[in-house]
Amino acid sequence: MRAKNNTLVFLSGCALVLLAACKGPATGGSDGKDTAAAVAVTDTLNPKNFEAVINGKNTKLYTLTNKSGASVSITNYGGRVVSLMVPDKAGKLVDVVLGYDSVQTYQKKGEPYFGAIIGRYGNRIAKGKFTVGGKAYQADVNDGVNTLHGGRKGFFGQVFDAEQSGQTLNLTYTSPDGEGGYPGKLTVKVTYTLTDDNALKIEYTANTDKETIVNLTNHAYFNLNGAGDSTILNNTLMIAADGITPVDTTLIPTGKIQPVKGTPFDFTTAKAIGKDIGTTDEQLKNGKGYDHNFVLNKNDGSKPIAIASSPVTGITMEVYTVEPGLQFYSGNFLTGATHDGKGGKAYVLRSAFCLETQHFPDSPNQPAFPSTVLKPGQTYHTSSTYKFLNK
Ligand code: GLA
């Protein structure tokens, strides 16, 4: 039924490399002409810093490396993508995701879900309330008046069982009935595969023993200049979506679909993320920038639904999925207040973007949106691929 099929592709590595393709410190105007490079590289990502016991379970760092040397490092704490090393136009490996050097830093209060598996429900549910199987439920409210990304017991803070086999990492987690306020014991499996053509594929399956709702995604923060100090305002982006689901001031969809044509939300042709972000627009105001669900045009998963690119490194990322929606978030809540990013970096405002494949936010309360209901006997399945090119 919910034959979801996200396909995300990423790349990564365990050591961060910094490229010094820069012209100076990263700056970030809103004109999209930011030419700063970033790319701090460090080779200091130390697997030992990910060895801990959390919730009574062991955490570790796992690294998948492909034949050309691209790599992704993932911890089973929240299933987080910690680094993703992909070749730039000169063939040097660049870390394109934000993250931390230790599992303890991922546990800090207010941590913005860096690289995490998001569940049970990606994005927001109005006031945390929903009805499924004829019963009303109250999910944990953790974002003002709403629930966001599964609430405080979300998968981002759970320890998965992990099994690596070559370039594949299998993560499993059983969420007990009632966890975070959601009904049903939910058995979840997430498989990360790094392919030899520099694609990170993430596959999700889930089963329940009680009628419930599910909406799984990954919350990687990308900067194709290289994770570091620069903003992403010069990264270009195409999203194959003719509409968005506009939101109120608490980022809950109004239920309408708004055409992007003639608005700052028109990414149907690639443009710099910074090009229109400073425009006076009610939706940009509500989101403090882009923080919206794009209603993807019909696609069968064979063509990219989004393409991002850095003029500095030449790295291009294609995103594939058959999910109906894509949350494009322009890092509006990053502040650069702390210097605890990998290699001591401060992740400043808009120093990364997220492209979260998903069903629409608040679907359980919006009958016109595609359903997120999962029943016993059904298997939830979706996948997303983030594929990297360097020409
Ligand atoms: C999602 C949300 C944003 C924000 C980030 C995390 O992308 O839509 O509003 O909460 O996660 O900070």
- Counting residues of the chain whose pLDDT is more than 70, the rounded percentage is 89
Task: Give the span between the Cα atoms of 62 and 60, in whole angstroms.
Answer: 6
Closest CA to 156 of 194, 201, 123: 123
Task: Give the span between the Cα atoms of 67 and 280, in whole angstroms.
Answer: 47
What is the pTM for the complete model shown?
0.90
**Residue 230 near residue 24 (C-beta atoms within 8 A):** no
In the chain, what is the straight-line distance between the N-terminal and C-terminal CA atoms, in Å?
A: 39
CB atoms within 10 A of CB 144: 13
What is the tens place of the pLDDT at every residue in 21-66?
332 333 333 333 344 444 444 446 899 999 999 999 999 999 999 9
Give the distance (Å) from ligand 1 centre to CA of residue 291.
7
What Cα–Cα distance (Å) separates residue 214 from each residue in 123, 186, 381? Answer: 11, 9, 10
Q: Which of 24-33, 104-113, 143-152, 321-330 shows the lowest mean pLDDT across its residues? A: 24-33
The atom number, within ligand 1, closest to the CA of 113 reads: 6
Give the distance (Å) from ligand 1 centre to CA of residue 52.
27
The whole-angstrom distance between residue 20's C-alpha and the CA centroid of its chain comes to 26
> Which position has the token pair 């979506």?
241
Annotated catalytic residue 359: no
Residues counted in the chain: 391
Contacts of 24 (CB under 8 A, 6+ apart): 36
Quote the Cα angle for 388-203-299, to 5°: 70
Classified as helix, coil or strand, 103 is helix
